[in-house]
Every structure is written in C-alpha cells, then in structure tokens.
Structure 1
Amino acid sequence: MESKAPQEHAAWIGPLEAAVEESLEGLFLLRRHLHQHPELSGEELETTTHVARLIEGLALPLKIADQQRGLTCELLAPDSASDLPRLALRADIDALPIQDAKQVDYHSCREGVMHACGHDVHTTMLYGALRVLKQLADDDHLPWPIAVRGIFQPAEETALGARYMILNQALRDVAAIIGIHCDPSRSVGRIGISPGVLTANCDMFKAKFRGRGGHGARPHQTIDPIDAATQWVQSVYRSVSRSLDPHEATVISIGRFDAGNKANVIPDNAILEGTLRTFHSGARASALETIGKISEAVTLATGCDIDFELGFSAPAVDNDPALVEVISHAARQTLGKHAVEPIPRPSMGSEDFSYYLEHLPGAMFRLGTCSEQIGQEPLHSPHFDIDQRAIAGGVRLLAATVIEYFDPRRND
C-alpha cells in the first residue's frame, strides 16, 4: 500500500477526532444501557429495537432481520456511492447466561444474564463509527466516497447468528467485512492482529452411552454407562493428543456429564457433551478418527453402545492479509505508531465471524480494553468489565479503517 504523508491525513483525521470526542458521552451511556439490559442468544428483540431507533436517528436506511432479531444498515456518502461494493462492519449483540457479579451502577438488571464477552461494547463501537462517519459526510470532511454496511448480529454465542444474517442478505453487495473483539489481555490503545488463522475450528459433540441399569449393590447385573463414559473420557483425553503431531494444536474438552439421579441406582444411560478444537482439517479428521476407534474399543470392553454425534462446526477465522494491512495502517494513524501488536499464535477459541469469510475476505482484530484500574478480568467472567476509554479508540479505528479501505490509491 502506498505510503501517505501525515499532512495528507490532517484534512480528515482532525474532524474524525473531534467527532469522536463529541460523541463519547452518549456512547458511554449507550454501552452502560446495553450492559444493564442484556439478552441471551435468540432473544435479542429489545436490543434490536433499541439499536434500530439509534440508526433511525442517523437517518440511515435499515433492515431488521426476519425474526426481529438483528439488523443491517447502509451508510453511503455521497449518495452516488451506491455503486460501490460495501465494506461491512460487524458487531454481535447477544449476552451470556452468567450472573453479573460486579458492584457497579450499570450492573445487569437481568438475573443470570450478562454481557461478559463485550458484545455491548462491540455494538456501541459500531454505532459510534457509523455516527462519526455520518457526521464527517454531512460536514463534507470525507476525502472520498464510502459505502458501509453495518451488521448488528444476534446469536454469536450459539454460533447461529452469522449464518442467520447471511440468509437475511447481510452480505448482498458486500466486498469485504471487518470484525472487532474486546481483549482484556491488552491495554487500552493497543490492538492485536495478524494475517492468517486467528481462531480455531470448533466442533460441538455429544456422546450417548446406552447401557442397562440396575441396583448399585449388583453391578454385575448391569451394563454401567458411567463406567463406559469415564473410560471414554480418559482415553480420549490421553489418546487424541498422543495420536497427532505435537505441532498440530488440538484441544478436546468435556463440559457436560449427565447420568443418573439416585446414589444407589446405576442408570441406563449417560450423556457427555464437549468441544473439539483444531486449526487444520487434517488434524480435525485425525482426531475424529481416533475418537471413533476409542468408541469401538470402549463398547467392546464394557458392552455399552456409544452414539457419537457432531453438532455445529464453526470454521477457523482466517484473516485476509490485505485487510490486516488496512486495519494496521489505520491503527497507527489513529491510536499511535506502537498500537499494533502482532498475535504470535492463534486462539483455540472460536468465532462465528468465520461463516462470513466463507463468502468474502475479511479480518477481525482484538481491541485492548484493560488498564491498571479496570478491565483485567477475562472474557466470560462474572466480573468482566472494560476501561471505557477503549470505546473511543475502537470508534476511531473502525471509522478510520473505512476511510482507508476506500482510498482510491490503495490498489494502484
């Protein structure tokens, strides 16, 4: 990408900074409102309505998805930019089934539901970026035309939302997509980003063990599914890692074990649920083959039938190098020359942002949200919070990335 002198940026960076500063008080209030009123995946009706009202206030065309959850909107500046392929900016809007344990005045008002992954922050920053870009357009401070699609997506935590929004035509006329995620391991003013694989493939699975129950005093008259399940777990934990190349990161974890309801009764059935995470298709295939062999061996040893079922499978997020360069350049321009921190190795977590990348190039970056005072609790913690100064940086970066992306010299 062509290097541009700082004076060439002054014409729009100054107004962008001013527009962000002018918006901050309202954005802080929006984030706190969303944090107080979280909604679980599949239930984001009030959040969608609230965001829609905000977008209507910007006089941007919007479309609410068919189940009244999630929406898209358009920012074309000038109107003649309608012929340009869109750059999509995506934010997720759902929360988690976690009890908010923070002692703050913006504590969640909903029992057992909390924005513990920063989706309220993502939503606020996307709205803020649209608001700032709209103001720059109205004040004639944009250096060239832009065409933005805002995607406010439900159900990220259940990995259903991206595909739902795609079915609702969220990617129509879109050429590329940018995603953002809070990162409590990084300081405010820093971003983590790298080209290539960012997150792992994630397979949800269920293993059903069908035995024959009976009295706990006479186990010889039963086919004990708990015995079979525990053998299976130990074998899978040990063998999957031992059967694969150590350079091929693979993580298998059991998150649910359900069997029986009385201390002295051996049940008929047991159920395990868990996740398998890999970076490459070869490692995934090898792990599943090993699991199949273990299931056959445990059945032979215990007499218990085992049904292994794969659930949803979220592919890996694979960042487009050209978009990573655009984001990185925008970060250095707006957050400082040392703002960009390369991510040395991919995360074993998963993100349904990857489903968009099956259709077009995209990139996701991680925005630092912690300081010495606040924001050091990990994602999905009941104490999760952010240093709200991160919101200003995220808005500046998203807006600047849009402007950089549409620079007519970028592909010269």
Structure 2
Amino acid sequence: MESKAPQQSAAWIGPLESAVEESLDGLFKLRRYLHQHPELSGEEFETTTHVARLIEGLPLPLRIADQRRGLTCELLAPDAASNLPRLALRADIDALPIQDAKQVDYHSTRDGVMHGCGHDVHTTMLYGALRVLHQMASRDQLPWPIAVRGIFQPAEETAVGARYMILNQALHDVAAIIGIHCDPSRSVGRIGISPGPLTANCDMFKVKFRGRGGHGARPHQTIDPIDAATQWVQSVYRSVSRAFDPHEATVISIGRFEAGNKANVIPDHAVLEGTLRTFHSGARASALETIAKISEALTMATGCLVDFELGFSAPAVVNDPHLVDVVTHAAQQTLGDHAVEPIPRPSMGSEDFSYYLEHIPGAMFRLGTCSEQIGQEPLHSPHFDIDQRAIAGGVRLLAATVIEYFDPHRNG
C-alpha cells in the first residue's frame, strides 16, 4: 500500500518527545528491576503482578489472564468509541534458563535464570508507550482518537504463550498487532523491518531410542541406543541439508542428548531433542518425510526402536505490508530518515508472535540495542545486555506507530 503521509504530524511529535523524556528515569529503573527478577516460562506470576500494579497506577483498565500469568489492558483516547477496533501492542515477559554472567549492579538475582532475549526491555517499552500515550491524552495532545490493547504475554520462549493469550480473549476487538524485538546486531537508533516473511517455521521434536542395555564389555549382547542415536543424528544432518535446494533454507539442529548414567553400562534408552526450521510448508513436509524414512531404516538396521515425536511448533512470522509502511513512517518521524534498515532475508529463528498473525494482520520490527560500549553480545548469551538509550527509541516508535495507525488521512 502506498504511504499517505499524515498532515498533522508536527503537532504531536513535540509533545510525544517531551512525554518520553519525562518518563525515562522511571523506565530505566523498571527495566533494571525486571532484569534483576526474571521468571521462566510458565512461572511469570510476580512479573504479571508487578506490571499490573504499574498499569493500575496510570490508571488503565486491565485483565489478568486466567492462570495469573500475563495480562491485557485498554487505552481509549481521546473520546474514542468503545467499539473502535484496537491496535494491539505485544511484549513478552518470560526469561531463559541461563546463568547471568554480567558484572553489573542489575544482574539477575535468581540463579540460572536471566533475561537473555530482551523480554525485560520489551515489557518496559510497551509500558512506556502506554504511559506516554495516556499522558498525551490527559493533556489533550493526541490529534485523533486511538484505541490500544496492551498485551503482556508469558511463555514466548516455549512457544505456547501467544495461543494462551488468544484463548484469554487478547485479540477480541483487535484489528491489527505490532511486535518489537531487541536486535544486538543493530545500533541504537536503527530498526530492521521488511514486508513478508521475517522468521521461519519452527518445529520442536523429541526422538526416543529404545534398545537393550547391558555390560560395556559385551556390546554384542545389547542393542545400543547410543550407537543408534549417533547414527540418526549424522544421517539426518547429512540428508536434510543435501536433499533440498540451497535456496530453500532448511535447518535441523539437536540441542539435547541424554543417555545412560555409568561409564561401563550400555543403557537401554536414549533421548534427543531439537528443532526443525523451514520457510515453506512444502519444505517442512519433505524434511519430515526424510526424517521418517531415516528413522524407519535405522530401526531395521540396528533393532533399536526409533520413536520421533513432534512437539510445540510456531509458524513463520509474515509482516503485513501496510503495517510495515505505518511503522516505517513512524520511525522516520521519531528516529530519523535513515533509521530504517530493510531486512534482506528472513531469520531462521522463530517467534510465537506468528500465532496472532493467523487471526489478524501484524508486523514485528527489530530494534537496535547496541553501541560501541555495550550491547554487542548476541541474544541468549549469558552476557547479553543493551545500551539503555534504546528504550527511549522503542517507546517513541511504539507510541508514534499507534498515532500513525489511527491517522484519518492515512485510513481515509
């Protein structure tokens, strides 16, 4: 869709900038608090309660999800009709099972748990955007009615949180959705966004190998599941990578291998867990067919029963072109003409944001969070951190995207 530049943008840019600056100290403190108190997927009770208190303090009406993990809130202003379709802004709130290795005063206080993917930052920026928009509304600084649904989602890392929030009516009366993700490969003040595919389909799987255990000195009397499992890995790695056009990206990776508990005992079972990532349904189906054939052949060759189980999966995130245009224009106004960097090819990573897109159009963008001094460690690193100046840019951009989205000149 061709961009229609809003004609009243100059009237609200200044008040938005002022509201962001007034909020920054509190937002920096919030992000550090969240970083110090991470909670794993499925355990986000304290985080939900903390965010709920902040939302109540604005005040905005909110609804906590049925397991008391995750919440939604509403911002209708100024004088927006109650039936005006919402634009949802989504942030994820869960952390990772990683030991925080940073030597900073805001490092995680919980052993083996840290915000290594920026979800504390996403949560802070969504709250900041709601705060700024609410403040502008109370000062009569918004140029036209807006209707925002804030979604603070648990369990993104386990790919179940988006569906859980959808079941909790998070998308009721929502017309479109915007997501944000930290990007340590981009500098503060830059965003990455493109229409079309942004991430890959991701299937999590488990493979169980059931053999016959015995003494390590007499392997001929056993059916060795470790031997079968290592053959399976090598065969699948080789076959999946060689069976497809190199332009048809397909990636399979094993992240867990568990077998046995004693050096001189061949166990009777072994377990592998991993992920299969593809962009297109045809490639996914072909990869799964290849895996099934390898599993069957290996059972015949070794006598070890191979049981392949598909677990949670997330489809690809596909950005809506119109919403990409909205975010792009908002970024140019708040971050500068050169802030937007097109993403040349999709990531093989995954995001359960994609489940929202099965119901409504949406777009996710990547926010630069690094500088020469800090923030260059990759996502999921025990040293992951951000240059906190990125928070201001993220809040500006989310708030501006809301205003741009509801511009009657753009929609009219």
TM-score normalised by structure 1 residue count? 0.98
Tell me what 1:360 maps to. Answer: 360
Please report how far the alpha carbon of residue 409 of structure 1 lies from its aligned counterpart in structure 2 after TM superposition. 1.6
Corresponding residue for residue 106 of structure 1: 106
Q: What whole-Å deviation, never above 9, does each CA across 1:139-190 have from its counterpart, x for those lacking one?
A: 1111110000000001111111101100100000000000000000000000
Tell me the equivalent position of 2:295: 295
SS of equivalent to 2:172: coil
Identity over aligned pairs, percent: 88
CA contact (8 A) 2:78 2:142 kept: no
* 4+ aligned runs moved over 6 Å, structure 1: none
Is 2:78–2:140's contact at 8 Å kept on the other side of the alignment?
Answer: no
Gaps of 5+ in 2: none
- Superposed CA deviations along residues 75-118 of structure 1, whole A, max 9, x for unmatched, are 00024331210000000011111111111111111111101100
Specify the alignment match of 2:86 in structure 1.
86
Question: Which one is further off, 72-81 or 122-131?
Answer: 72-81
1:4 counterpart residue number: 5
- Report whether the alignment pairs 1:351 with 2:348: no
User: What corresponds to 2:69 in structure 1?
Assistant: 69
Contact 1:208–1:271 (CA<8 Å) still a contact in 2? yes
* Structure 2 contact 146–406 (Cα < 8 Å) conserved: yes
Q: What is the root-mean-square deviation of aligned Cα atoms in Å?
A: 1.0
Aligned counterparts of 2:271 and 2:81: Cα–Cα separation in 1: 54
Mapping 1:98-247, distance limit 5 Å: 98-247=98-247
Answer whether contact 1:81 1:146 (CA < 8 A) is retained: no
Name the CA distance, whole Å, in 1 between partners of 2:148 and 2:247: 40
Looking at structure 2, the residues matched to 2 and 388 of structure 1 have their Cα atoms a distance apart, in angstroms, of 31
In structure 2, distance between residues paired with 1:83 and 1:300: 61
- Aligned equivalent of 1:32: 32
Which residues in structure 2 correspond to 1:364-403 (within 5 Å)?
364-403=364-403
The answer to whether residue 276 in structure 2 is matched with residue 266 in structure 1 is: no
Query: What CA distance in whole angstroms lies between the structure 2 residues aligned with 1:163 and 1:2?
Result: 32
**How far apart, in 2, do the equivalents of 1:44 and 1:226 lie?**
37
Confirm whether residue 284 of structure 1 aligns to residue 284 of structure 2: yes
Which AA in structure 2 matches 1:203? D
**CA–CA separation in structure 2 for the residues paired with 1:411 and 1:122:** 28
CA distance in structure 2 between the aligned counterparts of 1:140 and 1:349, rounded to whole angstroms = 42
**CA offset at residue 2 of structure 1?**
4.9
Q: How many corresponding residue pairs?
A: 411
Equivalent residues of 1:153, 1:161 under 8 A apart:
yes
- In 2, distance between residues paired with 1:61 and 1:98? 34
> How far is the alpha carbon of 1:220 from its aligned partner?
1.0
**Structure 1 residues 214-260: Cα deviation after superposition (integer angstroms, max 9, x where no partner):** 11111111111111111110000000111112111011001111111
Q: Could you tell me how far 1:3 is from its partner in structure 2?
A: 4.2
Deviation (angstroms), 1:213: 1.0
Distance apart, 1:8 and its partner CA = 3.1
Amino acid aligned to 2:5: K
Is the contact made by 1:2 and 1:409 (CA closer than 8 Å) also made in structure 2? no
CA distance in 2 between partners of 1:2 and 1:205 (Å): 42
- Residue 46 of structure 2 corresponds to residue 53 of structure 1: no
**1:81 match: secondary structure:** coil
Task: Work out the CA distance in 2 between the residues paired with 1:108 and 1:241.
Answer: 39
Conservation of the 8 A alpha-carbon contact between 1:91 and 1:151: yes
Code of the aligned partner of 2:228: A
Separation in structure 2 between the aligned mates of residue 4 and residue 196 of structure 1, nearest angstrom: 22
* Counterpart code for 2:156: E
Q: Which amino acid aligns with 1:357?
A: L
Q: Distance in 1 between matches of 2:246 and 2:148?
A: 43
State the TM-score, normalizing by the size of structure 2: 0.98
C-alpha separation between the residues in 2 aligned to 1:81 and 1:136?
18
